[in-house]
Amino acid sequence: MDIFDVAIIGAGVVGCATARRLALAGKRVLVLEKAGDILSGASKANSAILHTGFDAPPGSLELDCVQAGYAEYLAIRESMNLPLLQTGAMVVAWTEEEEARLAELESQAHANGISDACRIGRRAVADREPQLSDAARAALIVPGEHVIDPWSPFLAYARQAINGGSHFVFDAEVTSGLFDGKTWTLTTAKGAFSANGVVNCAGLYGDVVEQRLLGSSSFSIRPRKGQFAVFDKAASRLLTTIILPVPNERTKGVVLCRTAFGNVLIGPTAEEQLDRDNASVDEATLSQLIARARVMLPALGNVPITAVYAGLRPATEEKHYRIRHEPDLNWLSIGGIRSTGMTASLGLAQHAVRLLLGGDGPLSDLTAAPAEPVPNLAEHRTRDWQLAGYGEIVCHCEMVTRREIEAAFAGPLPPGDPGGLKRRTRCTMGRCQGFNCLGRLTELTGSRLAHPFPGERL
Ligand SMILES: Cc1cc2nc3c(=O)[nH]c(=O)nc-3n(C[C@H](O)[C@H](O)[C@H](O)COP(=O)(O)OP(=O)(O)OC[C@H]3O[C@@H](n4cnc5c(N)ncnc54)[C@H](O)[C@@H]3O)c2cc1C
């Protein structure tokens, strides 16, 4: 049996970024994912904010990884054609008590190296965001917080890992494993695989994977649901800056911000639940969220809702990231990456490689794994439909072209299911939620999706 250097369990944001970094370090990497595509777990639904770490716990691993991830994203994004919607953020105080907390937050931001964070008063808030309710009393501006496309970076990292010799296997849930002192043999739904080391990036199942393979787990996942409502595209003209609440100990709170896809979203809530898979939404919570958005930004009162969704954070019984390194077992768990993981992923990947391969200096790339530009999905940049020769518009709400659908299947790592196709093209994400284009998408995808659109035969 082929023996890989490292097997990564889970192809969420952490698994994809870690695969890329290990591949760049010259390792042969195998990624085992139980779903039909990358980003099928916690990573499929988030707020897409590239965080600076201004409010992260000072001196924490989370702060280090967020800041390293942020810096690396900016350094590599152009070579991969990845967007940055430069918005900045304002932590807005709506009450006297919240206003009193801004000074403390400003000091924390400065202590965390975010020296351009500064407080502004009521008038400056109104000048910056004229549509915001005049109940906004003051704010802390954090100019470096931005919005990105939550999906394309990880497709780009996975493809770069593949260019460096990595393999991704889908529908391959790891059910057990045996370490013989040198090599791990992992049993999956797709057969057995061998690797010298294992990195557990199983997100909402990180503790279950430890239990299955090590016999005990060092943390326990407490899923924390976040519901969102997405306003129609007209809303994106009403707001520039990310509007953050004053955070509390448990959560960063509900955000109002533009998306890279040209909408405005409100969310996420923070609801504890036992179920690790069910990210359902409920009408009462969504109504409250939407009402809150309309209080903050009254002009949203006339803007309809395009979509609602929810994501599950892989939170644990403790707030900090849960890293378990067992050098004698060639094992590393990167667990409990709850609410900053999209930003921190590249930093976590650097941390993982230093733990596994030793050294604490700058990492050098040992393999020629070329970065490939991915198609642009961001609304503020040129979309495919604006260029000649696209053939046909397939999804009219999101202006997705047939050429984009074909490109998704042509590249390394084609989509494995409808969600994967959506995350590569934006199809079905718009006002009609696929009602009008599902038939055409079904025809075009044929039997190319391992998990087809509902109703399509394999
Ligand atoms: C509501 C919400 C808002 C957020 N907002 C932001 C934000 O604005 N900015 C930011 O930086 N971060 C944000 N995050 C955080 C970020 O999305 C998460 O930290 C991140 O997605 C966690 O990724 P992961 O790779 O650890 O887990 P996952 O994405 O869950 O990946 C784990 C993968 O492992 C697979 N798996 C599980 N068990 C097995 C097994 N036995 N065998 C094989 N595969 C297995 C799963 O199918 C899954 O694909 C947010 C998260 C949520 C939920």
Q: How far is the CA of 101 from the centre of ligand 1 (A)?
A: 31
Domains 3-47+151-221+317-368 and 84-148+222-313 belong to one CATH topology = no
Q: How far is the CA of 40 from the centre of ligand 1 (A)?
A: 8
Residue 255, pLDDT above cutoff 60: yes
Helix (H) or strand (E) holding 13: helix 13-24
The residue written with tokens 């998306």 in the block is 259
Name the residue of 16, 339, 423 to mutate for ligand 1: max ligand atoms within 8 A of Cβ. 339
Q: How far is the CA of 303 from the centre of ligand 1 (A)?
A: 31
Q: Which residue's CA is minimally distant from atom 14 of ligand 1?
A: 339
pTM above 0.85, yes or no: yes
The confidence band for 368, taking pLDDT boundaries of 50, 70 and 90, is confident
User: Pick the residue with more confidence: 228 or 364?
Assistant: 228
Give the number of residues written for the chain: 458
Give the binding-site residues of ligand 1, using a 6 Å CB cut-off: 9-15, 32-35, 40-43, 45-49, 51, 173-174, 201-205, 209, 226, 268, 311-314, 337-343
324 and 313 in contact (C-beta within 8 Å)?
A: no
The confidence band for 458, taking pLDDT boundaries of 50, 70 and 90, is very low
Domain edges within the chain: 3-47+151-221+317-368, 84-148+222-313, 384-445
Residue 265, pLDDT above cutoff 60: yes
Q: The domain 3-47+151-221+317-368: what is its CATH number? A: 3.50.50.60
DSSP secondary structure letters along 376-439: P--TTS--GGGSTT---EEETTTTEEHHHHHHHHHSSS--SSHHHHHHHH-TT-STTTTTTTHH
Residue 457, pLDDT above cutoff 90: no
Q: Which residue's CA is minimally distant from atom 41 of ligand 1?
A: 174
> Which CATH fold topology does 84-148+222-313 show?
D-Amino Acid Oxidase; Chain A, domain 2 (3.30.9)
Q: How far is the CA of 204 from the centre of ligand 1 (A)?
A: 7
